[in-house]
Homo-oligomer: A and B are copies of this chain.
Amino acid sequence: MNILFIGDVVGDAGRRVLLARLPVLQERLKIDLTIVNIENAAGGFGVTDKILRECLAHNIDVLSTGNHVFDKREAVELVGREPRLLRPHNYPVGTPGSGWYVGKTRTGEPFAVLNVMGTAFMHPVLDCPFACARTALETRPEAVKAVLVDCHAETTSEKMAMGWFLDGQVSAVVGTHTHVPTADERILPAGTAYISDVGMTGCYDSVIGMNKDKVLRRMVQKLPERLEAAEGRATLCGVVIDVDTKTGRSRGIQRVSVRED
């Protein structure tokens, strides 16, 4: 099974390149399952009903998120209504929605996706993602072999630790949140595909997808500045993971990057 996982979609530029390039990618790479992190799709901050519908209408199977999931208040209701829109699973018990989704691909192959958020330098501080992952995976139906984990975290150490923690138990641990793709994709010894960060999908003439002049003013002058998603030619960043559906182990992981003309 070929899983395409695409990193944090940022603003209009991110959504534009995502929707424009996805069909070709899916066909060319023979994708069975498409997962996209959209925590920054709404102008850089959160997700709206309109964006959710748009994504689901474009052959995206599951949408993951992170610390920005509830930036738009309507998302509290959205995650409760649409199980394919994940919020980090380590939110407190009782939070609307879930970070664990079990489904079937268009061709009937079962799969699961888990979305957790790190706690190092992250806000809000959620429950331990390691304990959360362990508990969620115990509920995996026997028939589900392909399991992808989106570990949304700041530090490379927390993400790499999650990779080792789950090695052999899931098909892939992919990192998000830093908005920069890392070059450390690999298959861990027990068969779990791993990458520290897949990078964002948006305009890279920016600071992590946001207008660079505004970020610089904030960082250099320390003055408050309302950040905005950057405009300009955008790039889609993701990974393709080849999972053996008999065992759930991964055979390969490759970075994918496509830029707008």
Contact = CB atoms under 8 A, between A and B. Distances in A.
Nearest to A213: B164
A231 to B, nearest CB: 16
Contacts of A181: 182-184
Contacts of A184: 180-181, 199, 204
Interface residues of A, number: 56
For the complex, would chain A's binding face be called helix, strand, loop or mixed by DSSP majority?
Answer: loop
A207 B73 contact: no
Quickly give the copy total for this chain.
4
Residue in A158, A183, A206 with the greatest tally of chain B CB atoms within 10 Å: A183
A38 B90 CA distance: 32
Contacts of A94: 221
Interface stretch (A23-31, A100-108, A121-129): A121-129
A179 to B, nearest CB: 6
Interface in A109-166: 119-121, 124-128, 130-131, 154-158, 160-161, 164-165
6 nearest A-B residue pairs (beta carbon): A124-B222, A183-B183, A119-B125, A156-B180, A181-B183, A130-B220
Interface string A191-227: 0000011010000111110001001101111111000
Interface string A173-192: 00000111111100001000
A95 interface: yes
Given A71-B224, A157-B207, A183-B257, 4 more contacts: A119-B119, A156-B178, A180-B182, A181-B184
Contacts of A157: 179, 207-208, 215, 219
11 contacts: A92-B222, A125-B125, A130-B219, A130-B220, A131-B220, A157-B179, A157-B215, A160-B180, A161-B207, A165-B216, A180-B184
Given A219-B130, A220-B128, A220-B165, A155 B178 contact: yes
A128 B218 CA distance: 12
